[in-house]
Amino acid sequence: MKREEALGLLKQHVHNKNLVNHCLACEAIMRRLAQHFSEDEELWGLSGLLHDLDYDYTKDKPEEHGLKSVEILGDLVSTEIKNAILAHCEKKEPETLMEKALYAVDPTSGFIVAAALIKPEKKLEVVDVPFLLNRFKEKGFAKGANRDQMKSCESIGLSLEEFYTLSLEAMKGISKEIGL
């Protein structure tokens, strides 16, 4: 599946603009991580773009999240992408580098958005890594962003600081597209 097809499929199944932007942010971060690790950017990017494909169907049935995406995708994408989707929502243990990366990326994109939105400018350009690291320590900030899941970046050989650096860089690269 090519990116444009995947984006069309995402927009067909996900109707919340903020969730589409979340998927775009996850795609950008996954692509940046693929570059960092000399992995397949297209493959990694598609896993980020499609990871919440089923959200509109499963938001009230979390036990089905991920499983429905795999069903919708069928043979359109590789097993690696489907496994990453399942791993991000704990339907399988993250085993591969890509699976572990997507697991850590999912809450991180929302965390970074929350950091931008508390700034007066409401723009990613004014967010920096020290600001993110300080907010990470505040349990009341972005409560929905699972700290342990973000910290799992260490399982792919990145410190939280390195992970935030790559993630923020990726999101700043698409800031206009996601309205931040």
Report residue 5's pLDDT band, with 50, 70 and 90 as the boundaries: very high
Whether this prediction's pTM lies above 0.85 is answered by yes
Rounded to whole angstroms, the Cα distance separating 151 from 5 reads: 32
Q: What is the pLDDT of residues 99-148, one digit of tens each?
A: 999 999 999 999 999 999 999 999 999 999 999 999 999 999 999 999 99
Tokens of 121: 């400018």
- How confident is the model over 7-59, as pLDDT tens digits? 999 999 999 999 999 999 999 999 999 999 999 999 999 999 999 999 999 99
Token pair listed for 63: 């036990």
CA-to-CA distance for 109 and 111, rounded, in angstroms? 5
User: Would you call 103 exposed, middle or buried from its count of C-beta atoms within 10 A (0-12, 13-18, 19+)?
Assistant: buried
Token pair, residue 16, equals: 């919340």
Domains of the chain, with CATH numbers?
Answer: 3-173 (1.10.3210)
